[in-house]
């Protein structure tokens, strides 16, 4: 389910825009587009106006929602919508079951950190977050990752790829950042665990 767009429906501009920026960056490499709307009405318009399948990240307390579950029911009517994730600052215990019964796939508390939200959405999209990390690497960075997995030094990598040692160091810094490790050993372990090399 890789060609799925994501729509964030939330009326709090600071929260919505921060989440939109974060998720756009995270999903960029896997090709999943991220949109945002400040009301149910605007959200429905976006979904109906674009050729795509959709996952909706829906704030339950949105001004144009008559009840907390109203938005879920509205989006559920659209066949382009493949899943809805409810997000709310209200108590999870009291709301989660109602949301699931109304047609949501998951309930995400607003107190969750962004990596938890990203992980939850990856699960809904059938994406492995580690795969998404790998797809952020350029072809050259994947080559360098393969070289360090073979135990090659920066000098050897530079010689075999016909680039400078400084360039190798710059690429390694980018690789560590993208796959969230701190050194060569961790990078090699993670690459082997995930079958990247």
pTM attached to this predicted model: 0.67
Range of the domain at 155: 137-193
| Calpha distance 86→106 (Å, rounded) | 6
Phi, psi (5° rounding) for residue 61? -95, 75
Is 54 part of any domain?
A: yes
| Calpha distance 18→24 (Å, rounded) | 10
| Calpha distance 23→43 (Å, rounded) | 17
Is 21 part of any domain?
A: yes
**Mean pLDDT, all residues of the chain:** 88
Phi, psi (5° rounding) for residue 106? -145, 160
53 sits in the region (left: phi over 0; alpha: psi -120 to 50; else beta) called beta
| Calpha distance 95→91 (Å, rounded) | 7
Distant-in-sequence, close-in-space partners of 192: CB < 8 Å, separation ≥ 6:
149
Q: Are 19 and 98 members of one domain?
A: yes
Which residue is it, tokens 């949301």? 99
Is 99 part of any domain?
A: yes
Q: Are 121 and 144 members of one domain?
A: no
Q: Are 122 and 141 members of one domain?
A: no
Q: How many domains does the chain have?
A: 2
pLDDT of residue 92: 67
The CATH number assigned to the domain holding 95 equals: 3.40.50.2300
How do residues 95-136 score in pLDDT, each as one tens digit?
888 899 999 999 998 888 888 899 899 888 887 766 666 767
pLDDT of residue 2: 44
Q: Are 68 and 164 members of one domain?
A: no
Is 105 part of any domain?
A: yes
Q: Are 72 and 156 members of one domain?
A: no
Residue ending a domain, among 95, 127, 159, is 127
Give the neighbor-by-neighbor strand order of the sheet with 53-59: 34-37, 4-9, 53-59, 81-88, 106-109
How many CB atoms are located within 10 Å of the residue 92 CB? 16
Q: Are 24 and 118 members of one domain?
A: yes
How do residues 154-192 score in pLDDT, each as one tens digit?
999 999 999 999 999 999 999 998 888 889 999 998 888
Q: Are 141 and 160 members of one domain?
A: yes
């Amino acid at each position: 389910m890789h060609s799925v767009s994501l729509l964030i429906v939330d009326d709090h501009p600071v929260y919505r825009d921060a989440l939109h920026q974060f998720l756009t960056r995270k999903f960029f490499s896997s090709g999943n587009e991220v949109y945002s709307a400040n009301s149910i009405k605007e959200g429905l318009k976006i979904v109906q106006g674009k050729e795509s399948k959709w996952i909706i990240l829906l704030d339950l307390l949105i001004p144009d929602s008559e009840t907390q579950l109203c938005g879920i029911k509205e989006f559920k009517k659209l066949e382009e919508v493949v899943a809805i994730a409810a997000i709310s600052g209200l108590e999870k215990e009291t709301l989660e079951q109602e949301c699931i019964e109304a047609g949501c796939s998951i309930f995400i508390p607003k107190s969750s950190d962004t990596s938890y939200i990203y992980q939850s959405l990856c699960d809904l999209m059938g994406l492995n977050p580690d795969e998404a990390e790998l797809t952020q690497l350029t072809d050259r960075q994947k080559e360098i990752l393969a070289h360090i997995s073979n135990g090659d030094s920066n000098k050897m990598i530079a010689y075999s790829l016909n680039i400078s040692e400084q360039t190798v160091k710059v690429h390694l810094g980018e690789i560590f950042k993208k796959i969230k490790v701190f050194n060569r050993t961790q990078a090699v372990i993670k690459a082997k665990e995930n079958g990247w090399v």
